[in-house]
Amino acid sequence: MENPPKKENTNIGYWEQVLETPTPAYQELFSAEREYLDKHILPDSFVLDIGCGEGRNMQSILQNTKNVYGIDNDPKAVKDAKKRFGEIETVQVAVASADNLPFENETFDTVTFLMILPNLENNKESSISESARVLKKGGKLILSTFSETAFNERMKIYKMLNAPIKKIEGTKVIFDESLGANTSEQFSLDELKSLGEKSSLRIVDSVKVGDIAYIVAYEK
């Protein structure tokens, strides 16, 4: 768990504001994610949360298993998550990049990848392929992301929080450098399907949450 981050990323500050003041659409997403994790995380299984941020989803996962690892490439997020779960011996949090995971092949029963795909820009395929590598055979990758109908909801919250938008290209929003991970994208189910297929992952379940998101389960 000691690989250095590949790049700096400081969008956690913005995300923490979203978590503090979620719009109804985000509230619906967060509650759907909690339900989904509760349904899919098996008791005592080993789970890796990629892009764990300050630990929102780790908190949900901990309801089902205490064997939880979180990684994020933002040192501040990792510091916050460590502080939050420091007392639980079986929880580990480390700075690492999604496309270069410091774990052996086939280590985890489940990998979670929640609301990080929109920010990955050129690292999407390499990060999904790394997730697949560390998953055991038959293990699941649970991913949530903005859906192809999310644009208006995304713009609503960017405006509400005065996010520093530099440019909009179609539905891709590019923020200025102050936000670190400065791109946000949205995806159709077909795009998510082919992204998984490139790493031999197939979608075994999916839900659409309002206009804003998909939550999908891939199996290795």
Q: What residue ranges bind ligand SAM (CB under 6 A)?
A: 9, 11-12, 15, 51-53, 56-57, 72-74, 77, 97-98, 114-116, 119-120, 123, 181
Judged by beta carbon, residue 137 or residue 215, the one nearer ligand SAM is 215
Nearer to ligand SAM, 98 or 215 (CB): 98
Cα distance between residue 40 and residue 54, in whole Å: 21
User: Least distance to ligand SAM from the beta carbon of 145, Å?
Assistant: 10
Complex with ligand SAM: residue 67 or 180, whichever CB lies closer: 180
- β-pair partners for 97: 100
* Shortest distance, position 72 Cβ to ligand SAM, whole Å: 5
Strands 172-175 and 68-72: unpaired
Task: Measure the CA–CA gap between 144 and 74, rounded to whole angstroms.
Answer: 19
Q: Which amino acid is at 62?
A: L
Q: Is 45 or 145 the residue whose CB approaches ligand SAM more closely?
A: 145
Q: Minimum distance between the CB of residue 78 and ligand SAM, rounded to whole angstroms?
A: 9
Rounded to a whole number of angstroms, the minimum distance from the CB of residue 135 to ligand SAM is 17
Q: Quick one: 51 or 139, whose CB is closer to ligand SAM?
A: 51
Report the nearest approach of ligand SAM to the CB of residue 198 (Å): 17
Residue 141 CA to residue 127 CA, distance in Å, equals 12
Two tokens, residue 108: 């985890």
- For the bound state, the minimum distance from the C-beta of residue 153 to ligand SAM, rounded and expressed in Å, comes to 14
Quote the CA–CA distance of 213 and 36 in Å, as a whole number: 13
Nearest CB to ligand SAM, comparing residues 79 and 136: 79
